[in-house]
Amino acid sequence: MKYHKIPDETIRRMPMYLRAFSMLKTEHQDTISSIHLAERLHLKPPQIRKDLSYFGAFGTRGIGYPVSSTAKQIRSILKLNITQKAALIGAGRLGAAIAEYPGFSMFGFDIAAIFDNEPSKIGTKVGKNVVEDISKISMIRDLDIHLAILAVPADAAQSVVDMLVGCHVKGILNLSPCYLVVPRSMKVVTIDLAMELGTLPYYM
Amino acid sequence: MKYHKIPDETIRRMPMYLRAFSMLKTEHQDTISSIHLAERLHLKPPQIRKDLSYFGAFGTRGIGYPVSSTAKQIRSILKLNITQKAALIGAGRLGAAIAEYPGFSMFGFDIAAIFDNEPSKIGTKVGKNVVEDISKISMIRDLDIHLAILAVPADAAQSVVDMLVGCHVKGILNLSPCYLVVPRSMKVVTIDLAMELGTLPYYM
DNA sequence: TTATGCTTGTGAATGTGAACACAAGCACGA
DNA sequence: TCGTGCTTGTGTTCACATTCACAAGCATAA
């Protein structure tokens, strides 16, 4: 499988695999076949095999994939083997929920700074961090943070993004219902809960 | 374009279009071409035209799409022309953020009930609703609610889903990092913020 | 009324990802 | 040491989605 371009869809599934392997590890299972993994994840076995094989031969024929070492491999493929620091912009209700969301640690993410523009929030503690004034956003560059999570109102999102560009941020998880203009070097993932919910009635 | 199966990807984009048309309406623009809409949404013009044409000919050649009536059409395609009631399970930080998220109203969603199992939360007001005990979950059936938003810890999610099945819920927006077993008649959309964030470092 | 300019709607072509089917190959036991 | 059973890795096939390219057709103005 050398000299192959890796499909975007495969990358999108890698965190799923990582989460599954991490969970299997806590269940003290030390090996899993593509068949059983596929059942858990609601996927087909060949897809899992192909996805993983893009990055090398992790499995053992007749046995399956070794849980612990495969997890480690995926972590390093996704560059999650080192702690990835992230900045959270917006300390409202949603920001607070994100700051205390336990799921990030499984992937090695660390919310290393929180910013807001509301004077009453600055200085208060949210999760393990003290909320900083948005005017100090260049801290992000000084702290060598390259990821940002955007939990601000939609009409403020673009102006925050413009600031983040100057801070050398390379990836943004955007939770505002809006489209962001960014330089090509920046990767944005936007999630709008209402939009996701919007498809469901169609299928009922 | 008659007798054609409508691609899932097209359905997934319809809420995007609806949001865009809704916003254009508030900007008092009464017509938009696929070219300009594509710029806003970071899509290609032919894709927009093809997507919309699956449901009929909404546009006017030489002019573009009439904002107001196209929005109305999409709303009725997605069954969002009538208010869709949704139940929110989990009144923690994330639940509270969702309950007050203003974006739902644009799609005609109405959070009609909130449930939790934490005694201290029951009876308190979150958003416009009073939190009910999870034991009263059959209210969902009585209120004729068919959508649920799940904002509970991952280890509680499956048991809540099993209850929702009995309440005739047909669609679930799941915010817990876990896979749910549901009857085939039920549609589930799962969002895990950590997983979405998980792909970003790969691209940096 | 007719010509012009612009944009839609859509068959066909292209591109991308999923699924299949089977050879390759490890582990375990006889 | 050899055979058996099971599962991986992958070339190929198939299905789905995107993009192209152009005819169809409305609106506006001469």
Q: What pLDDT sits at residue B2?
A: 58
Binned at pLDDT 50, 70 and 90, residue B3 comes out as low
Model confidence at A185: pLDDT above 90: no
Range list for CATH 3.40.50.720 in chain B: 84-196
Asked whether residue B61's C-beta has any atom of DNA/RNA strand C within 7 A, the reply is yes
What's domain B8-77's architecture? Orthogonal Bundle (1.10)
- Which residues of chain A make contact with B198, given a CB cutoff of 8 A? 14-15, 18, 78, 80, 107
Number of H helices, E strands in chain B: 9, 9
Q: Could you tell me where in chain A the CATH 1.10.10.10 domains are found?
A: 8-77
B9 CA vs C17 C1’ separation (Å):
13
Specify which residue's alpha carbon is closest to the C1' of nucleotide D20: B46
Which pLDDT belongs to residue A3?
64
Q: Give the residue whose CA sits closest to C24 at C1'.
A: A61
**pLDDT digits over B80-136, tens only?**
999 999 999 999 999 999 999 988 999 999 999 999 999 999 999 999 999 999 999
3-state helix, strand and coil shares in percent for chain B, rounded to the nearest 5 = 45, 20, 40
Chain B residues close to A86, C-beta within 8 Å? 197
Q: From B100, which residue of chain A is nearest by alpha-carbon distance?
A: A93
Mutate to test the interface with A, among B187, B197, B204 (most CBs of A within 10 A): B197
Considering only residues 18-37 of chain B, list those whose CB is below 7 Å from strand C: 33-35
Residue A7 contacts strand C, CB under 7 A: yes
Q: Position of tokens 């739902």?
A: B104
CATH 1.20.1530.20 is held by the domain B84-196: no
